[in-house]
Structure 1
Amino acid sequence: MLEQLTQFFMDYGIWGLFVVSFLDSFILPIPPFFVQIGLSFIDPQASLRIALIAFAGSVLGAPIGYILGKWLGKPILQKLVPEKWVVLATEQFAKNGDAAVLIGSFTPIPFKVFTLLSGVFNYSLVKLLLFAILGRGLKFFLIGILFYLYGKHAKVLLDDYLEVSLLGVAVVVAILWFWWDRRRKKRS
């Protein structure tokens, strides 16, 4: 089924990529990278434009995930989880939400998790968008640059190293984030 849905969006080219990237931010179970990689493989010279389309769709979909989380998420969460856990999770998201959203926006974890949780836990929409721009931009343009520079050979690199590379970048960003945050708190 995943392959059929991916092929459906591939058939619509960059517009299909825009739609899948947009919907991935709040509901669709298909990561847009399959479509981005497929389109970039077909036309490596257009890979930066393809990355821009995926990036735009993803960032534009983020506020919808946020609104859905705010509107539907909290009532559902309160029915499923004890109140003390909701309070604790809200406190933790307020404390560590910046790092969670930034790191989560380019890891293999579905982006919708972070847009929805941002709404549920009353995280700043402005910060969500800022970190989505940074993280999603890094992820989509990294793939676009690889195809632009290495052409069709980039697919071999991505097949072998994409998940490990993204997790590695996430670890580096997390370390830098926590270092910067500690330094900022010491100055206060």
Structure 2
Amino acid sequence: MLEHITQLFMQYGMWGLAAMAFLDSFISPIPPFFMQIGMSLLDPDSAIQFATVAFTASVLGAPIGFLLGKWLGKPLLHKILPEKWVIVATEKFAKNGDAAVLIGAFTPIPFKVFTVLSGVFNYSLTKLMFYAIIGRGLKFYLIGTLFYLYGKHAKVLIDEYFEITLLAVASVVAAIWFIWSIRRKRYA
């Protein structure tokens, strides 16, 4: 089923990629980087352009996920969970939301999880957008740059090393965020 949906979006080229990336920010079950990889395999010279389209559409969809979380997720959460759990979860997201959104924007975890939870837990929309720009930019442009530089051989690099690369970059980002947050607390 997922393959059929991806093929449907592929028929529309860049517009399909834009739609998939936009919808991934709040509802779609299919991450757009699969389509970005497929399109980049077919036309490596346009890989940076594909990255730009996916990045832009993904970031533009983030506020919709945020608003869905705020309007629909929050009331639902209050109906299914005890109030004390909601309070604890909100505090945890306020404390660790920066790292969660930044790492989530870069990893294969569906981005909609982080945009919707940001709205549910009253996370700052400005911060969500800031970290989405960084994380989504890194993710889409890393793929685009690999295909632009290495052409079809980039697929081998992605197949063999992408998960390790994602983990390494996510670890570096998490370490930088951790050090930054400790320094911020010291000087506050």
TM-score relative to the length of structure 2: 0.98
2-side partners of 1:181 and 1:87: how far apart? Answer: 22
Q: How many aligned positions are there?
A: 188
Q: What residue number does 2:82 align with?
A: 82
Deviations 1:112-146 (A, max 9, x none): 00000000001111110010000000000000000
2-side partners of 1:80 and 1:166: how far apart? Answer: 34
Q: Percent identity?
A: 70
Output aligned runs, 1:112-131, within 5 Å. Answer: 112-131=112-131
Amino acid at match of 2:116: L
2-side partners of 1:184 and 1:71: how far apart? Answer: 32
Deviations 1:137-162 (A, max 9, x none): 00000000000110000011111222
Residue 102 in structure 1 maps to residue 102 in structure 2: yes
Q: CA deviation at 1:183?
A: 1.1
Q: What residue number does 2:163 align with?
A: 163
Q: What residue number does 1:154 align with?
A: 154
Deviations 1:4-61 (A, max 9, x none): 1111111111100000000000000000011100000010010000000000110000
Q: What residue number does 2:41 align with?
A: 41
Q: What residue number does 1:11 align with?
A: 11
Q: Any unmatched runs of 5+ in structure 1?
A: none
Q: Any unmatched runs of 5+ in structure 2?
A: none
Q: Secondary structure at the match of 1:122?
A: coil
Q: What residue number does 2:184 align with?
A: 184
Residue 21 in structure 1 maps to residue 15 in structure 2: no
Q: What residue number does 1:32 align with?
A: 32
1-side partners of 2:35 and 2:10: how far apart? Answer: 6
Structure 1 stretches of 4+ with a deviation exceeding 3 A read: none
Q: Are the counterparts in 2 of residues 108 and 163 from structure 1 also a CA contact under 8 Å?
A: no
Q: What residue number does 1:2 align with?
A: 2
Single out whichever of 137-146 and 162-171 deviates more from structure 2: 162-171
Q: What residue number does 2:144 align with?
A: 144
Give RMSD over aligned pairs: 0.8
Q: Are the counterparts in 2 of residues 98 and 127 from structure 1 also a CA contact under 8 Å?
A: yes
Q: CA deviation at 1:78?
A: 1.4
Q: CA deviation at 1:164?
A: 2.2
Amino acid at match of 2:23: L
Q: Secondary structure at the match of 1:174?
A: helix
1-side partners of 2:135 and 2:69: how far apart? Answer: 20
Amino acid at match of 1:141: Y
TM-score relative to the length of structure 1: 0.98
2-side partners of 1:81 and 1:96: how far apart? Answer: 21
Residue 54 in structure 1 maps to residue 44 in structure 2: no
